[in-house]
Structure 1
């Protein structure tokens, strides 16, 4: 087994310990109300399912059939649950929550939401969104049924520029050591975009995974007949999902529709992932030049894609 795999296994196990501890803390509130976590899970599945039977709970929750049966018997005793014979198979019973059972579920559900909200409260909005995107990606990677999660593109709206500036500043500092000059440049580009926005010739796209922003790109006016591709970014939590390719293709398609003759862009030689995207989309490297910017010694590159 390679050292890399050993490291991944160690990190997964560490996360499992952290997650188990966190869930245990969240579960204390449920236990204080007289419900075990397993009982809460069963109640949730019945409340949110359709035509739920005991066998469905065993399969979905991975519990022993005898354990599930004891929980269901307890719910019936408390007046939370009634059984209704299936119309398609008289040997099977559907599990239906009573009015009392529905009220119990709604109280527990609200308590669970409050506990999670308390857990998220110390995080800034962009950190909450990043956590959401990371959680969805973990589920997508480990559960084949979730891998069809669609990345969607939308155009910019109020508040997006703040997110674009913050994420560029944070990611480029972490991954490439860029200083605050880079974040200032991004802020200037975003401010100019908002002040001079021409909907017939310019666009900004936000890529979303669920409701969480995971990428962005801009197409703005350059010299006569030439568009500029700017501010491509893909969150590390969403890499490998084709987000960057979607964003670049959205730029190219819009540029054609807007009547541009070509698209040009400026990037750095060390941004290897972005350079691969540009190359695969048909961009050609026109020229490169060393420079010192953003606290780094870099090689700036100009790439061009003819459209006509």
Structure 2
């Protein structure tokens, strides 16, 4: 990645946002900086002028002129800080909250119009990409401790799915290399030939590291999708990653127009089965089998995505 890549993205994104703000309607009668000051004051229980200056990275004189204008217009009131009498507390008045509310409503309408141009199936991916950019560039609130991000696989991730499935199931259930071969074939089939509008892989990240995965692929039965290779790393359990991954598959399958979503699992995988049950899957068949060096009870589960009238 180069400086030119970043500058090109900045030009594109500011163009997209600016194209929806004809005649500065979004911020009028305020400048962009003034609108940001109103936003911060509206979303903080109490804020000192010094804290506001630090949060926004503004010159002290510039911020003072903005606050003077707001005070003259009856939008704010200033007084001694609760924590330090030498500091000045800033608080919105009733008219100030109305002005901030109007700006917030305009911003919501603008972003809503922008999202209206994005296909529903792409909105989650867009949000995840935005959080990734913020987190990589140092915004701790984007990917704070314990925050889960779902994303598409990057280079090496498909290999990671094979390796982690093989290692984890060998360690926890004693499955042999036959299972690694099965996972490798599933992943290779997806990599070599898949329809991105009807099939997808998700990688779950926890604190920036891969922590889980799942796949949604076409099944042989018409109108049916299949959930495959749900996995959550042991140290990442308890963060709701399995539920997030299953919800992502269900939502994608519905958007793609599938009527049913099916999966095959084994009764020893109790945690995974409880996730499937929570999301409405019903057990439709059980069959004993000898696979992966173990005697297992295979289970077929099904979720109806669209009722007869849909």
Normalising by structure 1, we get a TM-score of 0.53
Instruction: Please report how far the alpha carbon of residue 49 of structure 1 lies from its aligned counterpart in structure 2 after TM superposition.
Output: 1.2
Instruction: Please report how far the alpha carbon of residue 88 of structure 1 lies from its aligned counterpart in structure 2 after TM superposition.
Output: 2.5
- Check whether the contact 1:263–1:305 (CA below 8 A) recurs between aligned residues: yes
- CA–CA distance in structure 2, aligned partners of residues 120 and 45 of structure 1: 24
| Pairs within 5 Å for 1:100-115 | 100-115=95-110
What count of residue pairs does the alignment treat as equivalent?
Answer: 206
Q: What 5-or-longer segments of structure 1 have no aligned partner?
A: 1-6, 154-171, 195-203, 228-248, 265-303
- The structure richer in helix per residue is 1
- CA–CA distance in structure 2, aligned partners of residues 134 and 93 of structure 1: 39
1:72 maps to 67
- Check whether the contact 2:75–2:92 (CA below 8 A) recurs between aligned residues: yes
SS in 2 for 1:96: strand
| Pairs within 5 Å for 1:168-207 | 176=191, 178-180=193-195, 183=198, 186-188=217-219, 191=224, 205-207=242-244
Change (3 A) 1:182 1:71: closer
1:148 maps to 144
1:43 maps to 38
- Check whether the contact 1:133–1:212 (CA below 8 A) recurs between aligned residues: no
- CA–CA distance in structure 2, aligned partners of residues 187 and 91 of structure 1: 66
For residues 41-78 of structure 1, what are the alpha-carbon distances to aligned partners after superposition, in whole Å with 9 as ceiling and x for unaligned?
Answer: 00000110132111112211111111111111111111
Normalising by structure 2, we get a TM-score of 0.53
2:26 maps to 30
1:138 and 2:138 matched: no
1:10 maps to 4
- Check whether the contact 2:224–2:262 (CA below 8 A) recurs between aligned residues: no
1:167 maps to none
- CA–CA distance in structure 2, aligned partners of residues 182 and 62 of structure 1: 43
- CA–CA distance in structure 1, aligned partners of residues 14 and 37 of structure 2: 19
- CA–CA distance in structure 1, aligned partners of residues 41 and 192 of structure 2: 51
- Check whether the contact 1:30–1:108 (CA below 8 A) recurs between aligned residues: yes
Match for residue 15 of structure 2 among 21, 26, 30: 21
Instruction: Please report how far the alpha carbon of residue 305 of structure 1 lies from its aligned counterpart in structure 2 after TM superposition.
Output: 8.0
